[in-house]
Amino acid sequence: MTNTKKIYLAPLEGVTDSIFRKTFAKYYGGIDKYYTPFISPNSTFKFTTREFKDINPDNNDINTTVPQLLTNNAEHFLWAVHEISALGFKEINFNLGCPSGTVVAKKKGSGLLYYPEDLDNMLYEVFSGLKDDVAISIKTRLGKVEPEEFYEILDIYNKYPISELTIHPRVQKDFYREPIHPEFFEYAIEHANAPLVFNGEIKTISNIENTFRKYPSINALMIGRGLIANPSLAFEYKESLAVNSLDLAKFKSFHDDLLSQYTAILSGEKPVLHRMKEFWVYWECNFPEQDKIIKKIRKSNRIEEYKSYMSSLI
């Protein structure tokens, strides 16, 4: 039996770039939509080279990739929507969840949630000014300081034709570690107009199954760290496969493919190793008995050194 509920890959800045997303799809798949890390449109009305590379249709499947925008300016947002929809993308996501201090200080990401009037004005301008035939979805936290802020925020979201509302049920000051507040997701199930997507702390097939069982009205989950740590999670869920430990041969091919692509595009060994080490933050939990080698991998300064530790691991 195959499962028909949807799984989305969450955006992780510095981790889930177009190379990762494409390579993930090649080796594992099981993902209905791949969200890009945020792009920050601004008064230059230009994407940076790095931003454009990440959404370039040559490097992405326009049907399953959802570019994400981070801004508090409707004009900048609408400019980027126009440019991105002209490339063929069907959906664009608005980041209202980023908890980073520098982002929040600029009243962006979850920082904008603290100013409900500004949020409402921005959404009004975006939806009344939207000329392109593209869906606008939102990824949000519950608020900035207290989860109760969410009641007013949801009332605002309910005024607009948001195609999908992904809720990460934490507030800004919770960052990524404090316990989530599922009761506010339950509140959203009762009161939201937009279709909902749950995001947060899903790591296993039983987490996926239990979440869909607990919230039968939702059709999709967004998973970040759990999918990076265990890239076969979505595929195994979709195909109702028995839960296996990581297939090391396949993981090695996936790893080696990523390494060779980053080696080809990044100049110098340091940036390549930096990139690979970002993944190891999530991968290391698969090797609980091998902490000494993992430590060496994470400390290696040369690619040859890194590769030799890798080959003693797998």
Whether residue 286 contacts residue 225, with contact meaning beta carbons closer than 8 Å, is answered with: no
CA 32 – CA 4 distance, rounded (Å): 10
DSSP readout, 210-279? HHHHH-TT--EEEESHHHHHSTTHHHHHHTTPPP----HHHHHHHHHHHHHHHHHHSSSHHHHHHHHHHH
Q: How far is the CB of 249 from ligand FMN (least distance, A)?
A: 26
**Residue type at 47 in one-letter notation:** F
Residue 167 or 259: the one with the smaller Cβ distance to ligand FMN is 167
Please, which of residues 28-57 interact with ligand FMN by CB under 6 A?
Answer: 37-38
Residue entry with tokens 């979201």: 157
Contact residue for ligand FMN among 67, 169, 200, 231 (CB under 6 A): 200
Please, which of residues 75-134 interact with ligand FMN by CB under 6 A?
Answer: 95, 97-98
- The Cα-based distances of 115 to 59, 76, 152, 174, 246 in angstroms read 36, 19, 11, 18, 44
Helix, strand, or coil here: 204? coil
Helix, strand, or coil here: 96? strand
Q: What are phi and psi of 69, to 5 degrees?
A: -115, 140
Does the protein bind ligand FMN through residue 13 (CB under 6 A)? yes
Does the protein bind ligand FMN through residue 67 (CB under 6 A)? no
Please count the residues of this chain forming the interface with ligand FMN, following the rule CB under 6 A.
23
Q: How far is the CB of 35 from ligand FMN (least distance, A)?
A: 7
Q: How far is the CB of 14 from ligand FMN (least distance, A)?
A: 6
Q: How far is the CB of 236 from ligand FMN (least distance, A)?
A: 16
CA 188 – CA 167 distance, rounded (Å): 9
Does the protein bind ligand FMN through residue 142 (CB under 6 A)? no
Binding mask 214-243 for ligand FMN (x = CB under 6 A): ---------xxxx-----------------
Residue 103 or 294: the one with the smaller Cβ distance to ligand FMN is 103
Contact residue for ligand FMN among 3, 12, 163, 266 (CB under 6 A): 12
Contact residue for ligand FMN among 7, 8, 10, 218 (CB under 6 A): 10
Contact residue for ligand FMN among 61, 145, 159, 176 (CB under 6 A): 176
Contact residue for ligand FMN among 119, 201, 255, 262 (CB under 6 A): 201
Q: What are phi and psi of 83, to 5 degrees?
A: -65, -45
Any idea what DSSP says for residue 37? E
Chain residues in the site for ligand FMN (CB under 6 A) = 10-15, 37-38, 68, 95, 97-98, 139, 168, 176, 199-202, 223-226
